[in-house]
């Protein structure tokens, strides 16, 4: 009887219709599994750029850029059992610009009161765009993502255009830090840089301090993008990962090489120098991960724990058990597929659980493949013990 109390109606129907073999293979709560479907796109839909946040009670909220609808919006899904089952809880719509939320969602949870919102409030951002501009806006939910309210505009840029010299903004990432909210993003508005990385800070969620540079290279054509940040507890350092394209050149064969920056706090990345993640594979060849990285840290793996990085082009992940030392990066194979701006997570209450979100690749967008939005959970301890790869 307990299973019928725990599972939502949709899951009960699916369970009743499943064959004995399908029931046996069904992901177990807080278990390890591969490519468990969160959402199956239909029609002209395609999902990329998955993002998530973990609530203090263990709930995982996940979303993605969903194409195929006008105006665009972000579907929000919830799991209370470590990704084994998912429920669609809401759709986040643009309610202020009339442009939709076209791409690049971001989620976070307040663990303390801020700006009149109580602890437990879920925050969401994204890029609302049209030919008239790009706006990074902030929304809040006080009921675990069931309903949403517009809070403030973080920043405004020009129309979406990746050509150097245009002035849009892109790719927000939210971090709650030091009793404030930090919004990182990619910024093309500075005429000295084709693109740079910046952040803005708010203590009340409504007003925002001026932008501060995080990564800005002297060479104009360099375009650092796609900020993601994590804390490495044993060494008391913060890590920022980003892609770093430079015209038509490549680094170790990657046209969008993944770089990382270490800093004493997440507001001072500008004081440190970025460096590429260089991996030596099983054959002794070196390469650099390519495009749209994501980074997390787990206490599993030794005295320094493990930094885990994902890129857009490969199924493997890249690990570092030496606090970010430049010569200590490894590659380990996973069963999850490549995804455009693939997100990864360490489950807070299960630090050996590495969750990898899946969706469509950049090259396959618009081809009608209907690749599902998925979650894979792999055992990080076993992964680190596996042979080096790729």
Is 69 part of any domain?
yes
Q: Which CATH number goes with the domain that contains 70?
A: 2.120.10.10
- pLDDT value at residue 281: 82
User: Cβ atoms within 10 A of the Cβ of 162, count?
Assistant: 14
- The confidence score (pLDDT) of residue 243 equals 97
Number of separate domains in the chain: 1
Q: Could you tell me if residue 21 is inside a domain? A: no
Instruction: Give tens-digit pLDDT for 368-389.
Output: 999 999 999 999 999 999 998 8
Averaged pLDDT, 232-249: 93
Query: What is the rounded distance in angstroms from the CA atom of residue 207 to the CA atom of residue 131?
Result: 26
Q: Is 255 inside any structural domain? A: yes
Average pLDDT over residues 47-52: 98
Taking residue 329's Cβ as centre, other Cβ atoms within 10 Å add up to 23
pLDDT in tens, 256-291: 999 999 999 999 999 999 999 999 887 888 999 999
Task: Report if residue 4 sits inside a domain.
Answer: no
Residue 85 · residue 7 · CB < 8 Å: yes
The predicted model scores a pTM of: 0.93
pLDDT in tens, 146-181: 999 999 999 999 999 999 999 999 999 999 999 999
First to last CA, the chain: 47
Q: Which residue range(s) make up the domain with 217? A: 29-385
CA distance 85 to 60: 11
Contact 365, 67 (CB under 8 A): yes
pLDDT at 18 over 60: no
Residue 22 banded pLDDT, cuts 50, 70, 90: very low
Residue 141 reports pLDDT greater than 60: yes
Distance CA(134)–CA(350), nearest Å, equals: 38
Q: In this structure, is residue 328 part of a structural domain? A: yes
Alpha carbons 161 and 132: distance in angstroms, whole number? 11
Residue 74 lies in a domain: yes
Asked whether residue 374 is assigned to any structural domain, the reply reads yes
In the chain, which ranges are continuous DSSP H helix? 2-6, 9-17, 20-25, 380-385
Domain assignment present for 329: yes
- Location of structure tokens 């800093």: 263
Q: Is the dihedral of CA 358, 353, 141, 295 positive or negative?
A: negative
Query: Cα–Cα distance between 50 and 76 in angstroms, integer?
Result: 11
Instruction: Give the per-residue pLDDT at 246.
Output: 87
Q: How far apart are CA 73 and CA 71, in angstroms?
A: 7
How many alpha carbons fall within 13 Å on the CB side of residue 134?
23
Q: Which residues pair with 353 in a beta bridge?
A: 379
193, 211 contact by CB (below 8 A): no
Supply the mean pLDDT for the chain: 93
Q: Which pLDDT band holds residue 254 (cuts at 50, 70, 90)?
A: confident
């Amino acid at each position: 009887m307990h299973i019928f109390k725990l599972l939502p109606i949709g899951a009960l129907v699916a369970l009743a219709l499943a064959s004995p073999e399908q029931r046996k293979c069904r992901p177990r709560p807080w278990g390890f599994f591969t490519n468990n479907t969160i959402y199956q796109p239909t029609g002209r839909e395609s999902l990329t750029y998955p993002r998530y946040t973990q609530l203090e009670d263990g709930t995982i909220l996940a979303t993605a850029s969903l194409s195929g609808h006008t105006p665009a919006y972000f579907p929000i899904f919830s799991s209370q059992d470590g990704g084994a089952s998912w429920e669609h809880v809401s759709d986040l719509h643009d309610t202020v610009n009339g442009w939709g939320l076209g791409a690049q969602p971001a989620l976070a949870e307040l663990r303390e009161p801020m700006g009149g919102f109580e602890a437990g409030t879920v925050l969401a951002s994204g890029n609302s765009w049209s030919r008239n501009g790009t706006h990074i806006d902030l929304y809040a939910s006080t009921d675990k993502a069931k309903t949403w309210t517009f809070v403030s505009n973080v920043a405004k840029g020009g129309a979406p255009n990746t050509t150097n010299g245009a002035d849009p903004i892109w790719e927000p990432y939210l971090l709650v830090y030091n009793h404030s909210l930090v919004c990182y993003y990619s910024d093309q508005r500075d005429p000295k840089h084709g693109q740079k990385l910046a952040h803005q800070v708010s203590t009340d969620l409504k007003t925002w301090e001026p932008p501060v540079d995080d990564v800005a290279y002297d060479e104009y054509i360099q375009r650092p993008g796609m900020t993601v940040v994590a804390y490495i507890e044993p060494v008391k350092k913060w890590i920022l990962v980003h892609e770093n394209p430079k015209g038509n050149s490549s680094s170790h064969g990657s046209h969008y090489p993944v770089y990382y920056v270490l800093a004493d706090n997440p507001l001072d990345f500008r004081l440190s120098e970025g460096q590429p993640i260089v991996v030596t594979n099983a054959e002794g060849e070196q390469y650099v991960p390519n495009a749209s990285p994501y980074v997390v840290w787990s206490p599993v793996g030794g005295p320094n724990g493990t930094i885990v990085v994902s890129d857009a082009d490969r199924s493997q992940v890249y690990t570092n058990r030496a606090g970010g030392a430049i010569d200590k990066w490894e590659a380990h194979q996973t069963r999850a597929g490549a995804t455009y701006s693939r997100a990864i997570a360490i489950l807070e209450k299960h630090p050996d659980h590495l969750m990898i979100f899946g969706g469509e690749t950049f090259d396959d967008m618009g081809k009608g493949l209907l690749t599902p939005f998925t979650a894979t959970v792999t055992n990080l301890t076993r992964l680190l013990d596996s042979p080096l790869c790729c």
